[in-house]
Each structure stands twice: as structure tokens, then as C-alpha cells.
Amino acid sequence: MSDRYFYSTAAKWSFVGFTVLVLSTWIASAGFEHVDMALFGYYIAAVICMIGMVVRLTLFFARPATSQVLKRSLKQMKAEKKRASKAVAATTVNNIVLQKFIWERGWYRWTQHMLIAWGCLGSFAITFGLTFQWMRFDLIDIETYQIVVFNIPTIKMAAHGLFAELVYNGLNITALMLLVGVLMALYRRINDQDVKVTQRFEFDILPLLMLLIVTVSGLLLTVSYVFFGGFIHHELALFHQLTVIIFLCYFPFGKLFHLPVRPMAASVPMNYREVEADETRVCAGCGTRYATDNQVEDVQAILQAQTIQLGLSDGTQLSDYCQPCRRSMRVKMQLNLMNGQLPTHPVDTNTGMSMPGFGRPKETKGEAKDETPVR
């Protein structure tokens, strides 16, 4: 990706995003009539968050591997509309909504993740809805409120009814979900020895602490006006706003960035395999089925785009072979038991030199002496 492409794409989509947000506020607030200036800090932070997200996503989708998923998904959507939509719907429910794969990793992790994920999404929906004025409450009469969405009046509710109470306390409910989930996650991060092997403070612990401080400061607002008659409510409100602003600015650049990226998982069964029987690609070595044709094509296209040369002298690629065959080939190369195909390029391993065994380039005598290992 060239610098020019990055700057122009990021700038273009940031501008589009900003325009859409401001326009949506203009429409939803009846020409800025209902704008709540108390939420202006959140507005600015949300715009910064959007721009950060655009920058990250521009970089992300410029990666050959990621753009290949997009290309393949569009192709599959066009080619097999019915099967594709069914597969996407099923994966979205299982993978994103119910997060069944996390259940397989343990009930504790599933519970904590469901609480954090839906707590976050719920809080975002309410916060952004109110900040951008997409949603507001109008007083119809002394006993009735009406929810107005995008300046369109919708349901009316009794001001002190159960539904109204649930709506007013939406953020409290999501905050409580988050509080429990974050505490569970922190407990695991502190006590689970396995997790500690690869965890990093700035990547794994910091986002949890940020969520915790946002949640606690938000809940303290409720505690202040319900139990203490609004004691230091103004200071708490400012502090909570500050924590949310920092959190929103951090959001596109930390661990929580997996939230906008994760839905890509919904495309996997549509693009590649839903069940084992979908695997039709036959190994060039042993003849077993090991992948789908789509996937091997994609992998080879990505490798080619990144100039990673894993070709063999007979024209096949290593990805044309199943995993056991590739392992066996590496050994046979080193033991000089291979007949026929040879790799055309060495593999750059971490020793900084070509591998004498599998990665040996096909060379004629006197050539490519610089690839010879250190003696």
C-alpha cells in the first residue's frame, strides 16, 4: 500500500463518516434544535473515535490477506446467494450473537465475554444514540413520554411505568453487566497461569481497567443522585465524561478493535467450508482431501501478493500439498530422500539464513553461493 493510497483513502472515508454523522444529527435533532450541549464532549470524542476507526480499518483492509476475504465474500455472495446468506446468518447467530465457540472454551469465559460484549454494545448504542441525537424523549403530557427516533415519534410510555424505568436505566443495566464481566476477566487475568504466558499489560489488562473506570464512574453518578441527593454529581459527571472520552480515543487502537473486525468471521463458512464434505481439494502428494479449492486459491493469491515464494520446481505450490506431506517433504529434503520436485526459493527463518534442509534453493553449481549456510 502506498502512502498516497492510505492518506487519500483514510481522508476520504473520514470525511464521509464525519459528514454522515453531522447530517444524521441535523436530521434527527430537527435542524440542531434538540442538540444537548451537555453531551458535546462525547460528540467530539465519538468523532475522533470514528476517524481512528477509519484509519485502522484502512490499514487493515489494505492488507492482502484481509482484502482477499472481502473479494472472496463478494464473489461468493454473487455466485451462491441462497447458500451464502444462509451460511452468513447461521454463523452470525452462532459466532457473534451467541458466541458458542467461547462456550467451548469454558462457561466462565463465555459468561464474562457475553457480559462485556453485550454490555459494551448496549452502552455504545445508548451513548451514541443520545449523543448524536438519533434518539430522544419528548414529554407529551405530565404522565407520558414519547421516544423519538430520527425525529420520528414512536412509542409512548407512562413516565413511571416499568418500561420507562427500564429505558431510563438502560445505561445502568449495561454498566452492571460490564462491571461483573470486567471483574471476572480481571480475576482470570490475574490468577490464570496459562493466560499469563503471553498476556501484555498494555494490550490485555489496560482495556479492562479502562472499562472498569468508565463503568464505576458511570454507576457512581446513579449512586450520587439516588442515594446522596446529587452529592458531587457535577464533578462526577465531568470525571465520567473524561473517562469516556479517553476510552473512545483509545478504542480503535487497542484490544477492543476486535469488535469491528470480528464479524469477518461470519464470512468464513460461506467462503470456504461449512462441513468437512465441502473439502474438495486433493493433495498433490498423497491424494487426500484437505481443503477447499477457494481457500487454496486465496492463500496462493495472498502469498503471491506478498512475494512469499513457496513454489516447487515442478510448478506446484507448497499449499497444493496437505500438512503431513509438507512436513514429510521438509524432512526428506534434509535427508536427501526427495526425488523430483525441489523448492525454488529458500524460506526466511529466524536465523537470518536460508535453511539447509527444506528451504534449499534449486541451484546449479557455482550459483547462489550467498545462500550457503555459515560454516
Please report, as residue ranges, which positions from 333 to 362 form the binding site for another protein (by CB under 8 A). 334-338, 347-352, 355-360
| Contact pick of 63, 74, 191, 237 for another protein (by CB under 8 A) | 63
- Contacts of another protein in 200-229 (CB under 8 A): none
Q: How many other C-beta atoms lie within 10 A of the C-beta of residue 168?
A: 13
CB nearer another protein, residue 63 or residue 233? 63
Supply the minimum distance, in Å, between the C-beta of residue 308 and another protein. Answer: 5
Q: Interface mask (CB under 8 A) for another protein, residues 155-194, using x and -?
A: --------------------------------------xx
CB nearer another protein, residue 75 or residue 105? 105
- Count how many Cα atoms sit within 13 Å of the Cα of residue 181 in the half-sphere of its side chain: 22
| Contact pick of 197, 229, 340, 370 for another protein (by CB under 8 A) | 197
Supply the minimum distance, in Å, between the C-beta of residue 322 and another protein. Answer: 8
Query: Which residues, 6+ apart, have CB-to-CB distance to 162 below 8 Å?
Result: none
Supply the minimum distance, in Å, between the C-beta of residue 176 and another protein. Answer: 23
DSSP code string of 38-98: GGHHHHHHHHHHHHHHHHHHHHHHHSHHHHHHHHHHHHHHHH-HHHHHHHHHHHIIIIIIS
Cα separations in angstroms, 199 against 105, 196, 253: 17, 5, 17
- The Cα–Cα gap between 69 and 77 comes to 12
User: Residue 311: beta bridge partners?
Assistant: 317
Which candidate, 57, 6, 69, 9, places its Cα nearest to that of 257?
Answer: 57
- Contacts of another protein in 236-295 (CB under 8 A): 255, 258, 261-262, 264-265, 268, 271-272, 291, 295
Size of the site for another protein (CB under 8 A): 71
CB nearer another protein, residue 24 or residue 316? 316
- Contacts of another protein in 105-164 (CB under 8 A): 105
Please identify, among the stretches 16-24, 62-70, 121-129, 227-235, the one whose residues bind another protein according to the rule CB under 8 A. Answer: 62-70
By CB under 8 A, tell whether 71 contacts another protein: no
| Contact pick of 69, 159, 206, 223 for another protein (by CB under 8 A) | 69
DSSP code string of 216-284: HHHHHHHHHHHHSTTTTHHHHHHHHHHHHHHHHHHGGGSGGGHHHHGGGGGGHHHHS-SSGGG--EEPT
Which candidate, 46, 17, 22, 42, places its Cα nearest to that of 32?
Answer: 22
358 neighbors 330 (Cβ within 8 angstroms): yes
| Contact pick of 179, 185, 298, 341 for another protein (by CB under 8 A) | 298
